[in-house]
């Protein structure tokens, strides 16, 4: 005998049972979309927070780095200037390829810088000492000062004077280095040895063979205003030496007649090798040829 089927006597229970019904497919899809959107929004908010934190730390790192770099740059600049302050600043004066330059120094010393030459002068010149450095060729008319000798430093020679007129030739290509004294006295130091020059004497140092020689030149005058060199009836040997010092020109002779001629001529800074060859040809009445910086009298 089967038991009778029991029915609920609670109306609330019956109502609850009726409300919890299975979702259909459309409602289930809509719920799934809402949950996915909520999760996506939550993840997006999380990423945005991470990005803000990253930007904040990156900005902080850039700011710190900039401060460090700026501080380092300031320190480097200060160190550089402090280092530079311990060294004597130097003024460099250049002459062009085709003209001389006349310079008046703080002590009224006059320098005529020959073409394609360089003179270095310390910024404190004449305060304690009078030192200059020469590369090339220059004439000097030095203001006399017994307390502060005037010193010209060049590649192989050191020329010390008190007050005089002289020229120094210190070629860039390391050829023959020379000093010619017009008046007064100078002391030349070469490889630790000292030599004294008298007026109209010229000392030449042959760098290639490390030998020196002193010769007597006469009737040679320097115009400190124009940088011109006046030869008042000099012989061929003196003309050769002057051309070598003044222009870097080699002079050769294949004629005995040209060697016996006395040369009275004024050599100006801007004269070319062609001009000089023509002048020698006129004075010697001989034909001349030119090969680069060499003039040959035939």
CATH number of 191's domain: 2.60.120.1440
Residue 266 maps to a domain: yes
Segment 17-33 shows an average pLDDT of 53
Residues 222-274: pLDDT tens digits? 888 788 889 999 999 999 988 988 888 999 998 888 888 999 999 988 888 99
pLDDT value, residue 77 = 34
pLDDT value, residue 140 = 94
Same domain, 144 and 176: yes
Residues 89-136: pLDDT tens digits? 778 888 877 778 899 999 999 999 988 899 999 888 998 899 999 999
Residue 76 maps to a domain: no
Residues 153-203: pLDDT tens digits? 998 899 999 888 899 998 877 678 999 998 888 999 987 889 999 888 999
- Tokens representing 193 are 């040895």
Residue 250 maps to a domain: yes
Residue 109 CB partners (closer than 8 Å, separation 6+): 130, 140, 141, 142, 143, 150
The mean pLDDT of the chain is 77
What pTM did the predictor assign? 0.63
- DSSP assignments along 5-27, one per residue: PP----HHHHHHHHHS----HHH
Q: Give the count of domains, the chain.
A: 2
Range of the domain at 266: 228-297
> Which of 163, 194, 216 is the last residue before a domain boundary?
216
pLDDT value, residue 36 = 55
Residue 105 maps to a domain: yes
Q: How confident is the model at residue 15 (pLDDT cuts 50, 70, 90)?
A: very low
Q: Is the pLDDT of residue 23 over 60?
A: no
pLDDT value, residue 114 = 87
Q: How far is CA 73 from CA 26, 59, 64, 79, 248, in A?
A: 69, 21, 14, 10, 49
Task: Single out the residue of 98, 186, 170, 107 nearest to residue 138, CA to CA.
Answer: 170
* CATH classification of the domain holding 289: 3.55.50.30
Judge contact between 248 and 267, C-beta under 8 A: no
């Amino acid at each position: 005998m089967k038991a009778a089927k029991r029915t609920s006597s609670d109306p609330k229970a019956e109502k609850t049972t009726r409300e919890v019904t299975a979702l259909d497919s459309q409602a289930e899809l809509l719920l799934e979309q809402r949950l996915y959107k909520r999760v996506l929004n939550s993840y997006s908010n999380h990423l945005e927070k991470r990005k803000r934190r990253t930007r904040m730390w990156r900005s902080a790192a850039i700011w710190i780095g900039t401060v460090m770099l700026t501080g380092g740059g300031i320190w480097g600049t200060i160190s550089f200037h402090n280092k530079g302050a311990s060294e004597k600043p130097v003024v460099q004066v250049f002459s062009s390829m085709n003209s001389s330059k006349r310079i008046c120094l703080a002590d009224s010393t006059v320098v005529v810088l020959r073409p394609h030459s360089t003179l270095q002068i310390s910024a404190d010149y004449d305060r304690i000492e009078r030192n200059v450095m020469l590369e090339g060729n220059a004439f000097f008319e030095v203001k006399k000062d017994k307390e502060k000798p005037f010193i010209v430093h060049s590649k192989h020679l050191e020329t010390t004077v008190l007050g005089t007129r002289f020229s120094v030739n210190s070629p860039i290509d390391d050829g023959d280095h020379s000093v010619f004294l017009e008046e007064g006295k100078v002391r030349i130091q070469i490889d630790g040895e000292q030599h004294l020059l008298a007026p109209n004497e010229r000392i030449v140092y042959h760098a290639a063979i490390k030998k020196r020689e002193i010769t007597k030149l006469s009737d040679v005058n320097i115009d400190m205003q124009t940088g011109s060199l006046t030869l008042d009836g000099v012989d061929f040997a003196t003309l050769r030496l002057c051309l070598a010092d003044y222009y870097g020109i080699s002079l050769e002779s294949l004629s005995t007649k040209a060697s016996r001629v006395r040369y009275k001529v004024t050599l100006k800074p801007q004269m070319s090798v062609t001009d000089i060859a023509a002048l020698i040809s006129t004075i010697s009445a001989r034909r001349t040829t030119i090969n680069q910086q060499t003039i040959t009298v035939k």
